[in-house]
Structure 1
């Protein structure tokens, strides 16, 4: 309900079709000869590509609106006081029109990950349903007053979309020779890729529980 019209500060920032196009371009060019070594991950991403582009298709069909979103809803973009109360949201350069999946899904990608974004030990990386429940309960208490049925029905999709998108982005950068993300060691982007893919798999397994909890929230 921001009373101004905002433009896209970063065009196609959360456009899954665009991110997959970037990945395909990297695969085709293979500038540093890394594609062969990551073929199994590429195949797994390909299997999910059509399903993960759902948001863009729904928008073209006029079924999914764009709303003003933060588009970088990590916990470390919130300021807290010494008692743990939220003071304000920061890092506002990404505030722009997007699907609500951007705010809901990207928060889950960071907050509900039991491991680190670049965890080398994949056993540490799982999807935390208790965080999902707490955030979803609070989110829907306000947001259900304006969200459409399609938006609500696809909140679990949003939770899987963002680890998928980040897997694609980290893998793209790895294939391109680490030209975008800062790395601390040569395989850093590949480690990030594998950790995000493990989070994706864990979130996918939790979809039935997510749907059941959303239904429970809406019935109260």
Structure 2
């Protein structure tokens, strides 16, 4: 479904009113996390958040620098919650939340997608785990539609992009555990916005570590799919 969306909009001549500049500016999000640690040392949860933040920043220091790629028209927020499925067949029917549509390198779009699709625990659980099986199914399905349009360079960059997006989101959640001014929260499950965001950040950190532990398997999936584009 996401590949059909991408191909349908390819070549559209349109000036987007909301370019969402900096949405995946990883350095900016990491700087905000450092500022949160510096500016909110009196926050009641600071002692709990600080070690988590340090682990996220250490992880960020190990990221591969993403290679420059051309911009394409993308959804901008292709998480599983923004996809509607047929309740009987399970087939994908629609993408929603279209205010994020704009221009972005395709690996970042796919990185955000697989970050969401391949974590069965979801964003509100600290036990994130990256599923190789879901990644393989998702990538094979995407390429079955995108072959001939998706480039080999874009495909090879998907795994580094997934890792980058996971780390970036972990930093955003962790910063908001101290700032408490951006993400919504569930008062029925958590005592505060800060606690909810700390759990989210821990879940993304666990997801990043899980991905790294399965990286060779994931790269084999990519190499297998490469021959079909």
TM-score, length of structure 1 as denominator length: 0.85
Match of 2:12 among 3, 9, 15: 3
Match of 2:102 among 82, 96, 100: 96
- Matches of 1:106 and 1:50, distance apart in 2: 20
Give the CA RMSD over aligned residues: 2.1
- Matches of 1:53 and 1:134, distance apart in 2: 25
**SS class of match (1:54):** coil
Consecutive unaligned residues of structure 1, counting only runs of 5 or more, are none
C-alpha contact (below 8 Å) 2:72/2:104 kept by paired residues: yes
Match of 2:39 among 29, 35, 55: 29
Q: Which residue of 1 aligns with 2:29?
A: 19
Q: How many residues align?
A: 210
- Matches of 1:101 and 1:165, distance apart in 2: 14
User: What is the CA distance between 1:21 and its match in structure 2?
Assistant: 2.1
Consecutive unaligned residues of structure 2, counting only runs of 5 or more, are 1-9
- Matches of 2:222 and 2:115, distance apart in 1: 18
Q: Which residue of 2 aligns with 1:116?
A: 122
C-alpha contact (below 8 Å) 1:69/1:102 kept by paired residues: no
Alignment of 1:129-148 (within 5 A): 129-148=132-151
Match of 2:74 among 62, 69, 75: 69
C-alpha contact (below 8 Å) 1:126/1:202 kept by paired residues: yes
**SS class of match (2:84):** strand
C-alpha contact (below 8 Å) 2:64/2:160 kept by paired residues: no
Match of 1:40 among 34, 48, 51: 51
Provide closer, same or farther for how the CA distance between residues 174 and 199 of structure 1 changes in structure 2, counting only shifts above 3 A.
same
Match of 2:90 among 84, 90, 100: 84
